Structure 1
Amino acid sequence: MTIKAKKFTPKVLLGAPRRSAGLPNHDGTKVLYSVSTYSFADHEKHNEIRVLDVKKQESIVVTDDKTAREPKWLRKDGDVVMLMGGEEGKTNVVIGKAEDWSKSYTAGIIPGPVENLKIHPLANNQYGFAVSGKATPAGDLYNPETAKKPHTTGRVYNTLFVRHWDHYVTENRNSIFLAQLVTNEEGKFVLSDFRNALKGTGLESPIEPFGGIDHFDISYYGLVFTAKDPELNPALHTKTNVYYFLSDTFWTPPFLQPVYPTKIHVPGFEGASTSPIFSPSGLHIAFLKMRTDGYESDKNQLFMVDDLHFPAHVTSPLGTKDLKGRWDRSPSSVIWSAKKPGEKPGFYFIAEDHGRSCLFAADWSTPNQIDRLDDPRMIVRGGAVSDIKILDNDDVFISSTSLTENSLYSLYPRKWYDEDKVYKLPDGITSPSETTQVISSQTHFGSKLGLSYKQVSEVEWPGAAEDTSVHAWVVKPSDFKKDKKYPLAYIIHGGPQGAWEDSWSTRWNPAVFAEQGYVVITPNPTGSTGFGQEFTDAIQGQWGGLPYEDLVKGFDWIEKNLDYVDTDRAVALGASYGGYMMNWIQGHDLGRRFRALVTHDGVFSMTGQLASEELYFPFHDLRGRLWDKPENWAQWDPSRFTKNWSTPHLIIHSELDYRLTISEGLAAFHTLQSRGVESQFLTFPDENHWVLKPENNLLWHRTVLDWINGHVGITKYSEQEEAEGSRNDALSVN
């Protein structure tokens, strides 16, 4: 698939092919992936499953069925299994050859919608098969198309949650369903009996709203998963536990006789758990866990059960006596590395570091010290690593993105791992950013979209707190000229425990703003992740304090040090916590230094946070509940400073945002209008905290760019579209 754009615009951003993480076969010669493309001409989304021949650098379509998803390799000779839509909301399990899908066949039919497919090889050419789906209170797979429709729309609740993220909570809960793929006399695979692994346990996994395939794993011996602690209210607590089923005959029918799973206890750690994963042998479990209940951005730390027959013996290979851990980074996922003969495998970690999502590796200090790892060492730096897969020869296949590349496949050769188990850089290589070999860049490193990494740089300035600095990405226009001054787009990230990374986004893409003629600066102030846990934690009780001061200092630093930035023509934008900060800035001195502001789904009044679904969040960050610490809630409330609101302001808020309810956006807009401040309000009745539908997203970009361009003297984007039509910025996809 080739793509080509003359100019990077919102329509190009949203119409560019979106390629999934790659799934290599056993030796990395072929890569399976899915790709979706939205056509604004047809107003239709097109989906394909494709396979890349790495040597030939050619890809072919496996299937363009719109319902096909989650392809997985089976046998080494090219068999592929995937999920496809069936009649009446059912799911077909379809198997065929990647190069000849016309001969594919249905191995089984699942009686409802499922996702998060995992398979694991068993004996005699059989596979363990796991998916997740909604289960009814009786434990059956829920199918909304065949379920009996109630005669009333009313719902009665006696406890939290009432609603979560973008939907009202019902009696149906996520669960994990298991089966086997076995071969019949004709050599074809057949799906065996389909069973709910969590039936009768009262547990839910994956955990909503974002939990997926990283919340459970299967092996030859069993199932491991993470689930909310059933004894705690999920709206008030983040505690999740790791559980597992284990048996030498786990997959032998009828597998999973009624039994409650084993719970893994981790003394002193009461927070969230994620990324449970079996070792390659299936004899060990590793997972990540946070220490503090009620704090979703606490540091993830590694834990391991070395002998599944003794789950009480949990080790912390990077732990310390004070429970803070030796490594001052918070990995988002953990993956077992390859196992050498007679040794336990070490680990790979994906973790944020200084505005990037990097790959780290760690092995045991000695083969006999099974409870102590060497400190993780960065082996891949640059861009944002999203997924890795280990090949048969122990090479690491990597899927990643960057600020100018929406899909990159690369390889980290394991040969760079020496006999002393220390990750050393090869001769001539000076940085971990140079350690990978490129397999496939979908956009030819951005050039197919009219972008270049030469547009990207980074800066730092002294932070508000002692001995801190604030990192920021700088993205310039592709036709940047040193002797020209450009208006500033100052974009503040959400979270607040989040970060601007060297990664691709279709919602807040700095390059879209840069190509309109801005110098875009995306700071990582106090509270940002990837700069050490102390820096992240420092935002507690400081929402409008240290981060705001960091941004003021940053604006001053930009004005003094970047002579190509016109701070007299500056705009500021932000979403979620970034939206809160726009409202806070509007009421304070920094607000007078911008020509226009944009708030997307931001906080207007702190007391409005009580309408949110995950109440543990404000309770933690504001250091107390409203009735116990009203002064904490009032201190950082943007609505207290509305008498100062005077800068032109665009407010965006959607009706399905149950994390920050639409009343927050309406209150901000009503305030601006009542005060006579130039303002505009954009809303979507069918979007949540994010704007995901392509046509809505295009309108979002058009409205935002028209608003800020009109206030700094740049031609409005809608006028650019009208003047140039599709001939200059159209995306050609072949």
Structure 2
Amino acid sequence: MAIRASKFTPEVLLSAPRRSAGLPNANASSVLYTTSTYSFDTHKKVTEVRVLDVESNESRLVTDEEGISEPQWLGDGIICLRSVKEGKTEVVVGPLGGSKNHYQVAGTIDGPASNLKIRELEDGVLAIAVSAQATPDGSLYNPETAPKPRSTGKLYNSLFVRHWDAYKTPEKNAIWYGTLSKSKDGKYELSKLTNALKGTGLESPIPPFGGADNFDISSSGIIFVAKDPELNPALNTKCNVYFIPISSFIESSTFGPHKVQVPNFEGAASSPVFSADGKKAAFLMMRQNGYEADKNQIFLIPNVGNASWIMPLLDSEDGKGTWECSPQSVCFSHDGESLLLTVEEKGKGLLYVIPKDPFKGAKSPRNLTWDGYVSDVRCLPSGDVFVSGSTLIDNSAYLLIDPSNAETPTLISSNSRNGATFGLRKEQVSEIWFPAADPLTNKKVHAWVVKPSDFDDSKKYPLAYLIHGGPQGSWADSWSTRWNPAVFAEQGYIVICPNPTGSTGYGQAFCDAINQQWGGLPYQDIVNGFTWIKDNMSEVDCDRAVALGASYGGYMMNWIQGHDLGRQLKALVTHDGVFSMTGQLASEELYFPFHDLGGAPWHNRGAKSTSNFAGSSLDAWREWDPSQHIDKWATPQLVIHNELDYRLTISEGLSAFNVLQARGVESQFLVFPDENHWVLKPENSLVWHRVVLNFINKFVGLPKFFDGEEGGLEFLGGERMEGEVVKMEAAGNGHT
């Protein structure tokens, strides 16, 4: 991006080049990466593989050939995957420069493959692994060439029926391994690939989001995580760590996966990694089954030759661990003597290091970063650490950190010149803290504040109050192309993003406190924040306030609509939110509502409430149900829902909109038949932004964002009913 945007708009957000995490070479003199750019003029996306020369800070194109993905260093050249006809995948190697003819196809995989990993073995031979789907008999699955059934019917006798945005099929993800050998004439040849999970009943990477972070390879073998095959994945989060010793990546291992036993830990496992020499391994694991936001704890396998020997780090007698933070990922330093951890902490994604020789006793981790959000970590032979990350104003930054002098990191590259190409400045972003509803977990609640780039302290600005999803999630100092606070700020709002009870990064107790409290403590935190803003931020006009949220944030919009705060807001926007708690029984990962609402609804009927605010005898499924309060719905509301959202089904959005319309509340319904829980397609996302901004701007006195009818969509409704209650006559009795 060389041209500064005159104003940061949704078009700028969605058409800006999206840069991948950087892959430095051994001495960090060059950085390999990809960018994808969508054009609203051509309506096409272009993906480029590029290399950055660190000294000159100049980037040059390696290739923009269609289908190329996942480039990695291979000596002074690269190796990558290329999607080709009939659903096949080529493994391609070549130099950094030159034409397409310089690239050699080392081998072809007869199906879609991804998550490429390579490790050097000996004599120029490389171990290679990818993930690809396998049929029930363990053979490679290619959906384009597989026989097509004559009927579309699907019969199930267990969960899952569908997951995230797809119906479950018999095929499973698998890890496939082999070798890449270099001949005397310099050409590489891919061996036959072996399914490491054939006949095991295991699936890795774990759908729907597992990827390269779910497995690792080394000269010792393969380490990976998979859901426990003896438990139903829709009702359990329990994952196991497995190690497959492999003496040769050319032939099938004579050993099956060895389950790594972790006593008293029954939750999800993640981030399995080897040390560079393949002699050690590490991973993260949670104690509690059924709770996906439990605290991650750190485990070492000091000698993979004896994978039964594991060492918990920073552990405690009560099992909670001595470190308050919950790491998101773990990796080894290049020498294998330190562990680096990414951690969400107080709205930031920070990098920590556990000092050398951690297995000689627990040592307190120390910071290597203090700001922004780290998304990827690469450890170099020099001992330095290469970091990829972002902030609320910068969509991609590369840093080089010397762990012995972390206070002065070197900025290698900023994709947006620290936000300048977007017309954004770091001075727009600040933080506030306000009183918490429950001082026993945290005395104060944190929130991010994003002001317009042309902010004038003599003026008052309407409030856009953004509530995050999860609910065990957070607003952080990181870039987003789906919910970007700066887009709303540049419309003329002061945007405030609170992290109420249930948010991650503020201690496990604060995260856990939302259990059976969905509309209790978090709602009171949000009310406290609104009151604090009104009393302490004179630049905010709380008489012109709107609130928006997705997923749990969408639930909270529906909850606010039926409660007092709803009457203080000019408009609400609900994206894929819960309307009725019983609607969550149509969801796929049932362990989630079962945990957060205190059990299955047939087990706790009539249970006494734990709420400090409601004092109800209803069970949590009914107590925190927005549909129980629809008699109070009166604030104008935009409802958005996607038909491929199998986590929160389309009936939730339709129900909310139908209630609003039947009550005569000004409302709109936006639906995307081809999107899941998120809106990912650029053209759809642009429409999403146009409709949302047009809707909220109308109620706070800001100019219409887009002049096209209904944000660029043809209005598909009939007669609009605004400002009157619809009366229905049934069986001779009048019902309002």
> What is the alpha-carbon distance in structure 1 between the residues aligned to residue 48 and residue 309 of structure 2?
46
Q: 1:465 to 1:471 in 2, by over 3 A?
A: same
Task: Quote the RMSD (CA, aligned, Å).
Answer: 1.4
State the partner residue of 2:620. Answer: 632
How far does residue 363 in structure 1 lie from its aligned partner after superposition? 1.7
1:319-374 Cα shifts (integer Å, max 9, x gaps): 111110011111110011132xxxx511110010100000001124xx5x725231
Aligned residue type for 2:693? L
SS at match of 2:90: strand
2:333 is equivalent to residue 345 of structure 1: no
2:391 is equivalent to residue 402 of structure 1: yes
> What is the alpha-carbon distance in structure 2 between the residues aligned to residue 632 and residue 353 of structure 1?
29
Aligned residue type for 1:345? E
With normalisation by structure 1, the TM-score equals 0.93
State the partner residue of 2:560. Answer: 585
Decide which moves more: 225-234 or 118-127.
Answer: 118-127
2:712 is equivalent to residue 714 of structure 1: no
SS at match of 2:108: strand
Superposed, which structure 2 residues align to 1:509-588 within 5 Å?
A: 509-588=484-563
How far does residue 305 in structure 1 lie from its aligned partner after superposition? 1.4
2:593 is equivalent to residue 594 of structure 1: no
State the partner residue of 1:616. Answer: 591
State the partner residue of 2:421. Answer: 448
2:248 is equivalent to residue 250 of structure 1: yes
1:169-226 Cα shifts (integer Å, max 9, x gaps): 0000000011111011211111011111111111000001111100000001100000
State the partner residue of 1:98. Answer: 96
State the partner residue of 2:323. Answer: 327
Superposed, which structure 2 residues align to 1:200-349 within 5 Å?
A: 200-247=199-246, 249-251=247-249, 253-257=250-254, 259-339=255-335, 345-349=337-341
CA contact (8 A) 1:596 1:708 kept: yes
1:609-641 Cα shifts (integer Å, max 9, x gaps): 000000000000011110011312111000000
1:460-492 Cα shifts (integer Å, max 9, x gaps): 001000252110000000000000000000000
How far does residue 264 in structure 1 lie from its aligned partner after superposition? 0.3
1:58-91 Cα shifts (integer Å, max 9, x gaps): 111111012110000011xx11000011221100
SS at match of 1:513: helix
How far does residue 436 in structure 1 lie from its aligned partner after superposition? 1.4
CA contact (8 A) 1:36 1:47 kept: yes
Q: 1:720 to 1:3 in 2, by over 3 A?
A: farther
SS at match of 2:693: helix
Decide which moves more: 284-293 or 135-144.
Answer: 135-144
CA contact (8 A) 1:317 1:371 kept: no
> What is the alpha-carbon distance in structure 1 between the residues aligned to residue 98 and residue 119 of structure 2?
24
How far does residue 4 in structure 1 lie from its aligned partner after superposition? 2.8
SS at match of 1:670: helix
> What is the alpha-carbon distance in structure 1 between the residues aligned to residue 361 and residue 286 of structure 2?
19
2:701 is equivalent to residue 704 of structure 1: no
Match of 1:644 among 632, 635, 646: 632
State the partner residue of 1:656. Answer: 644
How far does residue 241 in structure 1 lie from its aligned partner after superposition? 0.1
State the partner residue of 1:494. Answer: 469
State the partner residue of 1:665. Answer: 653
How far does residue 304 in structure 1 lie from its aligned partner after superposition? 1.2
State the partner residue of 1:360. Answer: 352
Aligned residue type for 2:537? L
Aligned residue type for 1:402? T
How far does residue 250 in structure 1 lie from its aligned partner after superposition? 3.1
How far does residue 255 in structure 1 lie from its aligned partner after superposition? 3.4
> What is the alpha-carbon distance in structure 2 between the residues aligned to residue 634 and residue 722 of structure 1?
36
State the partner residue of 2:732. Answer: none
CA contact (8 A) 2:570 2:636 kept: yes
State the partner residue of 1:44. Answer: 44
Name the count of aligned residue pairs: 695
> What is the alpha-carbon distance in structure 2 between the residues aligned to residue 629 and residue 701 of structure 1?
41
> What is the alpha-carbon distance in structure 2 between the residues aligned to residue 666 and residue 171 of structure 1?
32
1:234-289 Cα shifts (integer Å, max 9, x gaps): 00000000001114x232x32324x4210001000000000001112211110000
1:672-699 Cα shifts (integer Å, max 9, x gaps): 0111100000000000000000000000
SS at match of 1:370: helix
Q: Higher relative CO (CA 8 A, sep ≥ 6), structure 1 or 2? A: 1
1:34-72 Cα shifts (integer Å, max 9, x gaps): 100000011111110101111111111111012110000
> What is the alpha-carbon distance in structure 2 between the residues aligned to residue 570 and residue 316 of structure 1?
48
1:516-572 Cα shifts (integer Å, max 9, x gaps): 000000000000000000000000010000000001010000001000000000000
1:120-140 Cα shifts (integer Å, max 9, x gaps): 011011111011011111111
How far does residue 721 in structure 1 lie from its aligned partner after superposition? 12
Match of 2:580 among 590, 599, 605: 605
Q: 1:101 to 1:401 in 2, by over 3 A?
A: farther
Match of 2:366 among 337, 359, 377: 377
With normalisation by structure 2, the TM-score equals 0.93
> What is the alpha-carbon distance in structure 1 between the residues aligned to residue 444 and residue 620 of structure 2?
26
> What is the alpha-carbon distance in structure 2 between the residues aligned to residue 128 and residue 277 of structure 1?
15
SS at match of 1:547: helix
State the partner residue of 1:63. Answer: 63
> What is the alpha-carbon distance in structure 2 between the residues aligned to residue 338 and residue 310 of structure 1?
22
Aligned residue type for 1:442? N
CA contact (8 A) 1:709 1:717 kept: yes
Percent identity, please: 57
Aligned residue type for 2:351? L
CA contact (8 A) 1:3 1:16 kept: no
2:123 is equivalent to residue 124 of structure 1: yes
2:400 is equivalent to residue 411 of structure 1: yes
SS at match of 2:471: coil
> What is the alpha-carbon distance in structure 2 between the residues aligned to residue 643 and residue 599 of structure 1?
18
Aligned residue type for 2:560? I
> What is the alpha-carbon distance in structure 2 between the residues aligned to residue 160 and residue 56 of structure 1?
55
SS at match of 1:702: helix
2:478 is equivalent to residue 503 of structure 1: yes
> What is the alpha-carbon distance in structure 2 between the residues aligned to residue 211 and residue 318 of structure 1?
26
Q: 1:3 to 1:127 in 2, by over 3 A?
A: farther
Q: 1:721 to 1:62 in 2, by over 3 A?
A: farther
SS at match of 2:252: coil
CA contact (8 A) 2:220 2:304 kept: no
Aligned residue type for 1:360? Y
SS at match of 2:642: coil
Match of 1:387 among 376, 381, 388: 376
Aligned residue type for 2:44? E
Aligned residue type for 1:353? E
SS at match of 1:316: strand
Aligned residue type for 2:559? W
Aligned residue type for 1:84? R
How far does residue 101 in structure 1 lie from its aligned partner after superposition? 4.8
> What is the alpha-carbon distance in structure 2 between the residues aligned to residue 386 and residue 720 of structure 1?
38
> What is the alpha-carbon distance in structure 1 between the residues aligned to residue 587 and residue 291 of structure 2?
16
> What is the alpha-carbon distance in structure 2 between the residues aligned to residue 586 and residue 450 of structure 1?
35
Q: 1:653 to 1:220 in 2, by over 3 A?
A: same
How far does residue 394 in structure 1 lie from its aligned partner after superposition? 1.2
State the partner residue of 1:419. Answer: none
Match of 1:482 among 457, 467, 472: 457
Decide which moves more: 190-199 or 514-523.
Answer: 190-199
How far does residue 455 in structure 1 lie from its aligned partner after superposition? 0.4
CA contact (8 A) 1:607 1:633 kept: yes
